[in-house]
Amino acid sequence: MTQRALDSSGEKPEPVPASEVSAPAGGLTTAQVAERVARGEVNDVPVRSSRSVGEIVRANVLTRFNLIIGVLWVTMLIVAPIQDSLFGYVIVANTGIGIIQEWRAKKTLDGLAVIGEARPSVRRDGVSAEVSVSEIVLGDLIELGPGDKAVVDGTVAEADSLEIDESLLTGEADPVIKRPGDPVMSGSFVVAGGGAFTATKVGREAYAAQLAEEASRFTLVRSELRSGISTILKYVTWMMVPTATGLIISQLVVENDNFKDSLARTIGGIVPIIPEGLVLLTSVAFAIGVIRLGRKQCLVQELPAIEGLARVDVVCLDKTGTLTEGGMDVTEVRPLNGSDEAYVHRVLAALGASDSRPNASLQAIIDAHPDAGDWGVTEALPFSSARKYSGAAFTEAGGGASAWLLGAPDVLLPDGDPALADTDRLNEQGLRVLLLARAGGELGAPDPAAGAVPTALVVLEQRLRPDAGETLAYFADQNVDAKVISGDNAVSVGAVAQKLGMPGAEHPSDARRLPAERDAMAAEIERNAVFGRVTPQQKRDMVAALQSRGHTVAMTGDGVNDVLALKDADIGVSMGSGSEATRAVAQIVLLDNSFATLPSVVAEGRRVIGNITRVATLFLTKTVYSVLLAILVVCFQVEYPFLPRHLTLLSTLTIGVPAFFLALAPNKERARPHFVRRVMRYAIPSGIIAAAATFATYLVARHMYRGPGALEAETSAATVTLFLVSMWVLAIIARPYTWWRVVLVAAMGLCFLVVLSVPWLQDFFALRLVGMTTPWTAVGIAVAAAAVLEVAWRLVGRRFPT
* pTM given for the model: 0.69
Q: Which amino acid is at 379?
A: E
530 in Cβ contact with 484 (< 8 Å): yes
Q: What is the pLDDT of residue 479?
A: 84
Distance CA 143, CA 159 (A): 10
Q: What is the DSSP string of 136-186?
A: -BTT-EEEE-TT-B--SEEEEEEEEEEEEE-HHHH---S-EE--TT-EE-B
Minimal CA–CA distance to 786: which of 737, 741, 707, 723? Answer: 723
**Quick one: which of 231, 289, 108 has its CA closest to 663?**
289
Sketch out the chain's domains with CATH numbers: 18-41+118-215 (2.70.150.10), 53-105+219-290+602-799 (1.20.1110.10), 294-323+465-601 (3.40.50.1000), 328-460 (3.40.1110.10)
The one-letter amino acid code at 647 reads L
pLDDT for res 397: 73
CA angle 722, 728, 733 (to 5 degrees): 125
CA distances, 543 to each of 171, 526, 553 (Å): 17, 11, 7
SS3 label, residue 388:
coil
SS3 21: helix
Question: Which strand (E) or helix (H) includes residue 607?
Answer: helix 598-636
Tell me how far the alpha carbon of residue 10 is from its chain's centroid: 29
What string of DSSP letters covers 42-94? B------SS--HHHHHHHHHS-HHHHHHHHHHHHHHHHS-GGGGHHHHHHHHH
SS3 711: helix
Judged on CB neighbours under 10 Å (0-12, 13-18, 19+), 714 is buried
CB 601 within 8 Å of CB 306: yes
Q: Which of 768, 654, 657 is nearest to 709 (CA)?
A: 768
Q: Which residues are catalytic?
A: 318
**pLDDT at res. 216:** 41
- Spatial distance between the Cα atoms of 365 and 333, rounded to a whole number of angstroms: 10
Beta bridge pairs of residue 300: 588
DSSP 671: P
Question: How high is the pLDDT of residue 724?
Answer: 96
User: What number of other Cβ atoms are within 10 A of residue 442's Cβ?
Assistant: 11
Is residue 168 within 8 A of residue 222, CB to CB? The reply is no
Instruction: Report the amino acid identity of residue 597.
Output: T
Three-class SS state of 314: strand
Q: What is the DSSP letter of 653?
A: I
- Please compute, for residue 600, the number of CA atoms within 13 A of its CA located in the half-sphere on the CB side: 18
Per-residue pLDDT at 146: 81
Would you say 539 and 566 are in contact if contact means Cβ atoms under 8 Å apart? no
Burial of 513 (0-12, 13-18, 19+ CB in 10 A): exposed
Task: For residue 28, give the nearest of 118, 117, 119, 129 by alpha carbon.
Answer: 129
Which one, of 171, 165, 169, 173, lies nearest residue 189 by Cα?
165
Question: In the 8-state DSSP scheme, what is residue 13?
Answer: P
Please say whether the beta carbons of 112 and 91 come within 8 A. no
Tell me the pairing of strands 509-510 and 553-557.
unpaired
Pairing of strands 189-201, 389-395: unpaired
Given a contact cutoff of 8 angstroms between Cβ atoms, the answer to whether 618 and 733 are in contact is yes
Neighbours of 658 (CB within 10 A): 23
* Regions of the chain short of the pLDDT cut 70: 1-24, 45-51, 109-118, 167-174, 207-223, 252-258, 302-304, 326, 372, 670-671, 707-709, 800-802
User: What is the crossing angle of helices 53-61 and 86-115, to 10°?
Assistant: 150
At 367 the three-state DSSP class reads helix
Q: Report d(CA 269, CA 281) in Å as an integer.
A: 23
- Which residues, other chains included, contact 104 with Cβ-Cβ below 8 Å and sequence gap of 6+? 287, 291
- DSSP for 716-766 reads HHHHHHHHHHHHHHHHHHTPSP-HHHHHHHHHHHHHHHHHHHSHHHHHHHT
For the chain, the farthest-separated pair of C-alpha atoms sits apart, in whole angstroms, at: 118
**What residues contact residue 210 under an 8 Å CB cut-off, 6+ apart?**
none
**Residue among 121, 138, 261, 267 at smallest CA distance from 195:** 121
Q: Tell me, what's the pLDDT at 748?
A: 95
